[in-house]
Amino acid sequence: MNTLSPRNSILGVDAYFQGNHPMPAASETVRVRFAPSPTGYLHIGGARTILFNWLVARKAGGCMVLRIEDTDQARHVEDSVQKILDDLRWLGLTWDEGPEAGGDYGPYFQSQRLDIYNQYMQQLLESGRAYYALETPQELNDMREKAKKEHGGFRYPRPNPLPTIEQGQQAKQEGQRVVVRCKMPDEDITVHDSILGDVTLTADQFEDFIIQKGDGYPTYHFACVVDDALMKITHVLRGQEHLMNSHKHVALQRALGFPTPIYGHMPVIFNMDGSKMSKRDKEKAIKAGLAPPEIEVHDFRTAGFLPEAILNFIALLGWSTGDDKETYTLDELTQAFSMERIGKTNAKFDRAKLLSFNTDWAARLPEAKLLERLKDYAAINDLPMQSANDDMLTRLLQACAGFRTFADLQKKIGFLFVQDQAIEYDPKAVKKVLAKNDNAGFSILAQTQTKLESLEHFTKASIEALVKDLCDSLDTKMGNIAQPIRVAVSGSTVSPSIGETLELLGKERTLNRINKCLAILA
RNA sequence: GCCCCCAUCGUCUAGUGGCCUAGGAUACCGGCUUUUCAUGCCGGCGACAGGGGUUCGAGUCCCCUUGGGGGUGCCA
């Protein structure tokens, strides 16, 4: 599946070096990548990054590569690769190469590619495009602080003369932690960004940045450039926070003789208050006694959102077609997508609008799909609902039509999966619906109970007819009869329509619960 | 501090010099539907950050100011 790219030819490379930013030739396979670092769950911003990359690949019939950037030993979180993979699958964003998929350009874990990096590192060292730097972290820190105090900014001063390779290796042998820095060329660098246009940084703004850490691991910049080249990545779509990195990457590509991929730096997603969406927000909210906001994809999954809605919503964060259509399936997105229409402005993540998208998707998703999603929701939250079979769950879906999230659905029908004796009555509901007006609700409930007892066919239709009759004979509104029953059997004022509610529960359990409820009075 | 990016309703956005008395969505407000919660339907409120240019004409082009964001890590 991996055709050899014409970019391998000198001509291709040259074309890239001209900075003309050619679109890949028609014959060239478009290859994009998503490269998360395994520090936790998949962030919602990361989801949009992979979505846009995925769309570019799918649209062009290209290849989606998943690469794990695990070069930071300290921040590595156990299990997070599996968690990221799992949420990606849930979203339906598949990858053609990477963990569990294999591919011709592996390994796809950077921690397993150290030999490769070392080889190119050596090449740079020997060609004089990189050099060993002997400062300790402490020394650098001091320099930085001093510079900050004096003129606000710090730029690593290139040693003169540069330490030789021999000096560097000797220092290493003596047990010193030595880093490698890239020797930046004395020339301006222009990055051609397909979203933002040309961005030029002048030579005096560069510093010799670190490409190999003291522990021997490459830094992000180096590993990323080497891997993108070796994995034949043609398009790099990433967050705008990487814009300033791309000049370093271009410098590295030139030093190594690699082509420069097509770059696109996407706008960033923020909270409604303009702050960064961070998993720390959750801890903060909990400390403040508030419900934690959804930040990672998994949070939305647990909260009962549909992947279809999330994908649709985040696709429209920083991208639009120009027409009024707002509802898109993944296939429709693939059809409609184009990099040219990605915007430049940062977006705020409006959960209220996501909720509206979710409501919409819950109503339009085919039943079988919705059922599958509901089962995932039940499993992930370990809900008693899991015991229900598909027919039952489908009925619940229908009974709750119009629900916003699965969490709302759960709230509405959770009472079905509780033992009759374990029903808890919401005091507010009891007061408002049953106790008010000298226990009017209780008295209606008692009357209804007798009627229900003698009802032979305990179905939605017959129950509704019964309630309607009672309604007429007592000359009262439906609500005055339905609500007391609803509270009696569910404990709360919210449930499906009253006929549906009782039929789902069944005659025996309905009567049990009404009895239990009437006992409150005693 | 220095460097870079960005700027239309509260929010997501359409708009590429005349089609804009600025369109859609969402939120909000009001009404209708309704046995609860939702859904659904109808209506309303609501924006070109400010100032200079260019032009017959500017939301659209240029400059400045302001505001927001990013970078300035042996994080990615």
pLDDT in tens, A224-238: 999 999 999 999 999
C-alpha torsion A373→A374→A379→A383, nearest 10: 160
DSSP state of A398: H
Task: Give the tokens for residue A102.
Answer: 């294999």
Query: A347: helix, coil or strand?
Result: strand
Neighbours of A290 (CB within 10 A): 10
> Which single residue has its CA nearest the C1' atom of nucleotide B39?
A402
CA of A337 to C1' of B56 (A): 39
| For range A289-298, the mean pLDDT | 93
Helix (H) or strand (E) holding A399, with range, is: helix A390-399
Q: Note the pLDDT tens digit of each residue in A303-330.
A: 999 999 999 999 999 999 988 999 999 9
> Is A428 a catalytic site residue?
no
**A22-31, A387-396, A416-425: lowest mean pLDDT where?**
A22-31
For residue A10, pLDDT over 80 is answered with no
Q: Are A55 and A299 in contact (CB under 8 A)?
A: no
| Cβ contacts of A351 within 8 Å, gap of 6 or more | A272, A293, A294
DSSP string covering A128-193: TSEEEE---HHHHHHHHHHHHHHHS---PPPPSSPPPHHHHHHHHHTT---EEEE---SS-EEEEE
A35: left (phi over 0), alpha (psi -120 to 50) or beta: beta
pLDDT of residue A18: 34
| For range A510-514, the mean pLDDT | 94
Nucleotide nearest to A210 (CA to C1'): B74
CA of A302 to C1' of B60 (A): 44
For residue A375, pLDDT over 60 is answered with yes
> Which single residue has its CA nearest the C1' atom of nucleotide B7?
A345
CA of A360 to C1' of B43 (A): 22
Query: A458: helix, coil or strand?
Result: coil
Residues A472-491 as b/e (b if ≥16 CB within 10 A, e otherwise) read: eeeeeeeebbbbbbbbbbbb
Q: State the ipTM, two decimals.
A: 0.96
For residue A402, pLDDT over 80 is answered with yes
For residue A1, pLDDT over 50 is answered with no
CA of A339 to C1' of B24 (A): 22
**Selected catalytic residue, list A59, A172, A279, A507:** A279
pLDDT of residue A435: 85
Neighbours of A424 (CB within 10 A): 9
Residues A129-151 as b/e (b if ≥16 CB within 10 A, e otherwise) read: bbbbbbeeeeeeeeeeeeeeeee
For residue A478, pLDDT over 80 is answered with yes
> Which single residue has its CA nearest the C1' atom of nucleotide B23?
A324
Protein-proximal positions, strand B, CB < 7 A: 1-8, 10-15, 23-28, 34-40, 68-76
Q: Note the pLDDT tens digit of each residue in A480-492.
A: 999 999 999 999 9
